[in-house]
Chains A and B, each alone.
Chain A
Amino acid sequence: MINEKEIMDTNVEDEEIINRQWTTKLRRKAVGELPPQKLLPDSQPAYVSSWIYVFGVLTLSALGVVAISGAILALFGPSWWQQSPEGHFVNSLHLWSVELFFFFMVVHLWGKFFMAAWRGKRALTWITGAISFLVSIGAAFTGYLSQQNFDSQWIATQGKDGMNSIGIGAFFNLMNFGQMFMWHILLLPLLVVIIVGIHILGVRAKGVVPPIGALENKQEYAKAWSGKVRPYDIIKEGTIALVIVSLLTVALSVVFSSPNKAPLTIQRWAKADPTDFVTTAATELAGTSFSGSYGPPYNNGNGALQYVGPISLQKLAGVRIPINSAQDFVLQPLATIPNNPTLKDALNTYEAATPSLQNIWNNNFAKADAKLAVNGNSISVPKGNYGPIPVLMKNLLTMANTGGLDADLENSHQFYGTDYTKPLLFMADGNYMATLAQQDHLTGDQWGMMNETDKWPGQPWLWLYTMWYQIPPMSTSSNADALVMSIMVLLTIGFASIPFIPGVRTIPEKVGLYKLIWRDFYKDQKSTK
């Protein structure tokens, strides 16, 4: 770094060049906006005297514990956090530090709203705070998807519809564990840290907003505080907050632990409800299952194609994750079974048949569903023209019962080796998975997005998102996901724009909670007068 003395020693031409340099300009701007006494202050305005102010640093401390516990989990992997007691304990630390992070952040956000903390050219601080809250929700969401337990499976299969409905699902695949894990441990935390960093620098540069009515004109709120100050040890405050949050996290983990409901496998499904498995597999073969007729990003069907007005972003995004339910879930897995001439004949017969003949067999088998009897690996249907379908279903059931179908569908040839798109789509097409989800109040009509399995608290910060699904027209619309996602995008923009919305930005003044928060200041101001 060149100091001012060195600049004086250089010739005039060099000095002019140095003054024009991007680096010099950036350094002067940075040091001017954020001198060391602002970055690490030893005093702060006397009006900063309420417990509500500690929730910002508590949120940051919880973020630190989240990062440390998350890093340990990432190092050891899913088997460790699901199966070993030490791993499960660190999993509990991660869960409870996340709960504390959101808990403190929500209280911090409420406090800042009631203080109208965007006053005095501090709108960017509010906006970065709002964005960091929303990005944190995304980070937490990908975390829930990364658990690799039943909750994460169910969230992935349901949340995908929201993402697909606005075209995001084509690129952001909730059922691809590898991709979600990458977002969860790297991309979203990086974004959170960057935005939170900008937020903190904004607070340090602009200072804490003065109380409402403290200054005579609005311009003064943007200037540095020239009134009473009190000693403030920011390092000590941060250290105490970190210790408190760490102890709270450990205590909550010891007392409550964390949920660990085993993931559903096709093998488990086939053993528990073989009839549901076979009838679902038959719809996959016929291409009439939810996945088989879904539409983009999986295929060209229109079963789940959604619009906002005349536009379908889902259609615009196109088929990016090709799924042919007959080939991917039934025929190709069966073709991998060796030394089975009967199956080979059945496969050849089915594939050689014309589409209309395949349709006749599939329709006949679908009609016989109600009379389908499954016992172990054998299935029986009333006499009829089903072609080779009973043989295909019997062998697929056997393959499922041995775990071979799980292995085949999980055998991804894509970049991420842990892509569960196929087995999850298959399982979600059946009734068994939904029955399990309903028992844990996880379904959409049960406000399931908010809930965790068993008695653990879930994600109450998703209340608004899940609420829209309960209200007409969303509750009855075939475009519910697209409508809800559009509403949430608009509300998100509105939330970040509160400082600029007349009527909303003045709510804190009308509510008057600020009078209690700054009561010491107003009392002092009154006595001074």
Chain B
Amino acid sequence: MYGAKVLSLIVGALINLSGPGSYIKWGFIQMSVANLVLILLMIVVLALAIAIPFPHRPGGKK
């Protein structure tokens, strides 16, 4: 019984994405806000991956 309650807590979405989505329209381009967020996140992550210094020991051997 307790397990079922915990499970229902886990499987219940904290942020409910059910319901009509939002869409942007720019000329002939249409996109859902969720897809746009995903694409922007990919660009941000690429930029961060390049910009953030990679930890390493100086030098290295030949």
Q: Which residues of A contact B (CB under 8 A)?
A: 46, 49-52, 54-55, 85-86, 88-89, 92, 99, 103, 106-107, 110-111, 226-230, 254-257, 259, 439-441, 446-447, 450-452, 454-458, 460, 467, 470-471, 513, 516-517, 520
| List of B residues within 8 angstroms of A456 by Cβ | 17, 21, 34
Question: How many Å from the CB of A519 to the closest CB on chain B?
Answer: 9
Most chain A CB within a 10 A radius of its CB, from B51, B54, B56, B59: B54
Q: How far is the CA of A441 from the CA of B33 in the complex (A)?
A: 12
| List of A residues within 8 angstroms of B21 by Cβ | 440-441, 451, 454-456
Whether A450 pairs with B32 at a CB distance below 8 angstroms is yes
Question: How many Å from the CB of A332 to the closest CB on chain B?
Answer: 39
User: Which chain A residue lies CB-closest to B52?
Assistant: A51
Q: Which residues of B contact A (CB under 8 A)?
A: 7-8, 10-23, 28-35, 37-39, 41-42, 45-46, 48-54, 56-57, 59-62
Q: How far is the CA of A467 from the CA of B31 in the complex (A)?
A: 11
| List of B residues within 8 angstroms of A52 by Cβ | 46, 49-50
Question: How many Å from the CB of B31 to the closest CB on chain A?
Answer: 6
Question: How many Å from the CB of A255 to the closest CB on chain B?
Answer: 5
| List of A residues within 8 angstroms of B60 by Cβ | 46, 228-230
Question: How many Å from the CB of A260 to the closest CB on chain B?
Answer: 9
The number of inter-chain residue pairs (CB within 8 angstroms) is 132
Report the 7 A-B pairs with minimum CB-CB distance, sorted nearest first. Answer: A257-B13, A46-B60, A228-B60, A457-B34, A455-B17, A51-B49, A89-B11
| List of A residues within 8 angstroms of B62 by Cβ | 226-229
Whether B34 pairs with A455 at a CB distance below 8 angstroms is yes
Can you report 20 residue pairs joining A to B where beta carbons are below 8 Å apart? A50-B49, A51-B50, A51-B54, A89-B7, A89-B10, A230-B57, A230-B60, A254-B10, A254-B14, A257-B16, A441-B23, A450-B35, A455-B33, A455-B34, A456-B17, A457-B35, A460-B31, A460-B38, A470-B29, A520-B56
Q: How far is the CA of A450 from the CA of B35 in the complex (A)?
A: 8
Q: How far is the CA of A457 from the CA of B22 in the complex (A)?
A: 11
| List of B residues within 8 angstroms of A106 by Cβ | 42
Given A49-B54, A111-B49, A257-B11, A454 and B19 touching (CB < 8 A)? yes
Question: How many Å from the CB of A155 to the closest CB on chain B?
Answer: 15
User: Which chain A residue lies CB-closest to B35?
Assistant: A460
| List of A residues within 8 angstroms of B33 by Cβ | 455
Whether A257 pairs with B32 at a CB distance below 8 angstroms is no
Whether A257 pairs with B57 at a CB distance below 8 angstroms is no
Most chain B CB within a 10 A radius of its CB, from A55, A440, A454: A454
Given A103-B42, A255-B14, A50 and B31 touching (CB < 8 A)? no
Q: How far is the CA of A227 from the CA of B61 in the complex (A)?
A: 8
User: Which chain B residue lies CB-closest to A467?
Assistant: B29
Q: How far is the CA of A103 from the CA of B29 in the complex (A)?
A: 21
| List of B residues within 8 angstroms of A111 by Cβ | 46, 49-50
Whether B54 pairs with A454 at a CB distance below 8 angstroms is no
User: Which chain B residue lies CB-closest to A250?
Assistant: B10
Q: How far is the CA of A110 from the CA of B39 in the complex (A)?
A: 13
Whether B10 pairs with A99 at a CB distance below 8 angstroms is no
